Structure formats: C-alpha cells, structure tokens
Chains A and B, each alone.
Chain A
Amino acid sequence: DAGVTQSPTHLIKTRGQQVTLRCSPKSGHDTVSWYQQALGQGPQFIFQYYEEEERQRGNFPDRFSGHQFPNYSSELNVNALLLGDSALYLCASSVRDRGSYEQYFGPGTRLTVT
C-alpha cells in the first residue's frame, strides 16, 4: 500500500515565478491538507481539500491556491514567489469520517526561491 506521495522532491525557482506541487493521498483517503514548514519551525497549515473544495484555510495569502481532483489527488499552486516562500511543503491525507482525524504525511517538496 503506497503512502502519501509528493512530487517533485526538490524545486528551485526565481522570485516572481509560479510553482505547482503535487500530492497523491494514501489509498482510501479522501481529504488532503497542505502545510508549509520553514527551516527550524513546525509545519503551518495552508489549506485543506475535501470533495474537490477548499474546506479550511490558514493564514496564507491568496497567492497560495490549490485544487483537488476526482481521484483525490491535489495540487498546491504558489504565484509571484517570494524569498520567504522557501520551505518544505508537506501534504497530508486523511479520511473525512474517521473520528480520530489522523493525518498521514508525505515526504515533502523542498522549494527554494532565489
């Protein structure tokens, strides 16, 4: 059973560019969340998708947007990249109706903005 997968592993972009990160959830999971983890910090919640809609959003600007596809996979898009967007981006999947709300994390995408 494959766990949560993310692509690419690493990415280098220039300020002002746009980037798309991808995530495939664990088999049987229908909810995908995205987190940003700056160096030396804990992950910060960006947003969550369920049934192809954004259900919750953290304190991130509109430059951060996402999408969920019918197969439950998800994309995170960041426009007009800033140096401060450099971080590890983590995708987590879960099942909506599970009471424990346990989230399973992927290995992350390391984004470097120069």
Chain B
Amino acid sequence: GNSVTQMEGPVTLSEEAFLTINCTYTATGYPSLFWYVQYPGEGLQLLLKATKADDKGSNKGFEATYRKETTSFHLEKGSVQVSDSAVYFCALNVNTGFQKLVFGTGTRLLVSP
C-alpha cells in the first residue's frame, strides 16, 4: 500500500538555524509528493510540491527534492524564523485519476528567538 513516514517531533531550533525534516514514502505507482503546513488552530496549507523524480519544490525559503532512488522528500530551510513554528506534513498522491492524499503523522517545529 501507500504510506508516508516522517521523523518524530517536536523539532526545537533557535532562530536562523538550519532545518531538516525527514520524509520517506512507500507507493504503488509513481506518486506526486507534497509538504503541507498547519499553523495552530488552522487548516492545512500547501507549502511545496514535486511531481516527478529529481524535481525540487520550493516556497518561502523551504525546499524539498523528490528522490526516487531513496524514496525520500526531505524538507529543508537554511534559516528558520519564529513564524515558521507549525506542524509540517509530508504527503503523497498516486495519480490514479482521482486525488487521494496519504499523509504522514506530522512533525511539530518549534523555533525560539
């Protein structure tokens, strides 16, 4: 089946530190990969995506590269801010014609000043 595994949180960093949140996946077929962010009390917002191997998704200083050989889609940011504190979800969709996102359990990021 299809599944996503994320690193356990919380990840606690100081402002301007480098961020990596690991994500690996198992999929039947050729998935599209996503990172969503959830701020406290809110729904999910799409952060970035990649639809084929070696694609790099990027947005707001965050980046992730679709690595088919290692079935990974790790999220990185060079310098985090306090405002980046949120829960980050890695997700996949196998392009079967109808969208059905499969999410990881989420990783909470806490950034202190």
Contact = CB atoms under 8 A, between A and B. Distances in A.
Interface of A: 4, 31, 33, 35, 40-45, 48, 50, 55-56, 58, 90, 92, 94, 96, 99-108
Given A42-B106, A48-B98, A48-B99, A104 B93 contact: no
Interface residues of B, number: 23
Contacts, number: 64
B99 A103 contact: yes
A23 B65 CA distance: 33
A103 B98 contact: no
Given A41-B105, A43-B101, A45-B102, A107 B43 contact: yes
Given A33-B99, A55-B98, 8 more contacts: A31-B98, A33-B101, A48-B99, A58-B100, A90-B43, A99-B51, A101-B99, A105-B43
